[in-house]
Structure 1
């Protein structure tokens, strides 16, 4: 008979501010069990850009703390970091199983015919040949719900990854790297300037049984290596700045998948890559865009 866990009481603190990184830093300094970042429309921010902030005018950042944590010092630290204009709300989730509540709000999501992204304890009604990637909330949060990541997952779900060497540049939680490995990639190199993101990628790779195929070297260590597929789910400004780097890492004929830009930014991003890539029609979801290009020079 399975053990029944008693509901756990939690302290939940939510702050609305344009200074998302400062709020996250405060929550992390108080040992938050989980931190999530949302925009005003409640879209979860996943795969944050290396050294960049979410593309939201205002963010809603929620920190979750174990029962017994005092709210007052955290509120004071938030005020000191963010100023009096920040809107702070404190909730005690008494007698509520927060994990079950989170699972109810984030059911498994299917991409393509057989790729699923689901929390670890969520049941998935899928065919026997389904590929199920399991991820839970955490400090480097990524579940596939945001359009930028969903568009990349849709592309991966239909791509031929068998035996391919993949680069995931700006890996965040590792969701794309893990999905690529589970879908048959021979090797995935996942890099990020955020050490926390690298740790999250390693943990998620291990939990999904693909740690042996996912490598997380420092950015400087990938040198001039070329890859069969290059993925970059970040934001428009760094995508443009990284054009020479990502181009150099794409082998002749290699697909390049760029996400994290908005419709108004399509031409600026494409122009940074046009000399080396031929692009298909942009794929758009909720004003977010995924560009799929192919490197010139295939034999």
Structure 2
């Protein structure tokens, strides 16, 4: 997904929905190409994720979707009503760019994943041990920050994995958050690909700011067709994950872990069925109704 640049529009369409079914609201926002999605407790302005492996089960959440200037709110509201029912509270507003950035910084404290991986804005103090790995990212258009469950699940996997000397593929890199985390955690190289040129530019810029631009590479997708990798990660959505099964399978070396995220619990079987011939699946993980599937490429 793309990141903000100097040509970003000066205002945004913000749609806020209050519902007990946060995952469904997030899925609707994703379907309409939300540039950013944040989940808040109705009683708080803080992000849902406050501590590692601690994800409160709120009775109701405030789900905020941010869309590019000029996006029509009507079809998004209609889809939300269809998914959530008429009881859901929906508010539409126009938000100036600088106001959104300030709000984002206030809502996103540093987050820890595993024992020593942190994601934090550049100016945010991090109370961490000396050996902590701190990835610094600031707010931008639809970029991963660790607050979304799908990104958090992948970061937790990376934080627990032995990446030393491994060659990693981040397919659908967005902001580059997973690529940068993998590089900082010891990967020998990370290949980050995305269909969006702005996402690749954001990944390169974020990699440089985090001192891993000599480890994170952003080639065109057609430039890696013959390559295989020690680890393959794809944090996208269920339909693309299914469609990309042959591609991701071909990129995974024998015994390579495969990490798939961006699907809902009801989509598990459909996604697994697309990969089961070449991968063995482990237990995976979940947050809210979002699922991470963990698998390993079969040797033969």
- On whether the aligned pair clears a TM of 0.5, the verdict is yes
1:202-217 alignment to 2 at 5 Å? Answer: 202-217=204-219
| Superposition deviation, residue 282 in structure 1 | 2.6
Deviation readout 1:87-143 (Å, 9 max, x if unpaired) = 6424679xx987554333100000000000000000000000000000011124211
1:89-104 alignment to 2 at 5 Å? Answer: 89-90=93-94, 101-104=103-106
Determine the structure 1 residue equivalent to 2:237. 235
| Superposition deviation, residue 37 in structure 1 | 3.8
1:158 to 1:83, Cα distance in 2 relative to 1, 3 A: closer
SS class of match (1:211) = coil
Of 121, 125, 128, the residue aligned with 2:127 is 125
Question: Is the CA contact 2:184–2:212 (under 8 Å) kept in the aligned structure 1?
Answer: yes
**Distance (Å, rounded) in 2 between the aligned partners of 1:259 and 1:114:** 22
Deviation readout 1:142-175 (Å, 9 max, x if unpaired) = 1100110000000000101000000000000100
| Superposition deviation, residue 275 in structure 1 | 1.0
- Please give the TM-score of this superposition, normalised by the length of structure 1: 0.74
Determine the structure 2 residue equivalent to 1:249. 251
Determine the structure 2 residue equivalent to 1:179. 181
Is 2:65 aligned against 1:60? yes
**Distance (Å, rounded) in 1 between the aligned partners of 2:265 and 2:158:** 21
Question: Is the CA contact 1:190–1:217 (under 8 Å) kept in the aligned structure 2?
Answer: yes
- Please give the TM-score of this superposition, normalised by the length of structure 2: 0.74
**Which has the larger displacement, 203-212 or 139-148?**
139-148
Unaligned runs of 5+ in 2: 1-9, 17-27, 49-62, 79-90
SS class of match (2:214) = helix
SS class of match (1:156) = helix
**Distance (Å, rounded) in 1 between the aligned partners of 2:206 and 2:240:** 25
Determine the structure 2 residue equivalent to 1:149. 151
Unaligned runs of 5+ in 1: 1-10, 25-34, 45-57, 64-73
Bigger-Rg structure (1/2) = 1
**Distance (Å, rounded) in 2 between the aligned partners of 1:84 and 1:145:** 22
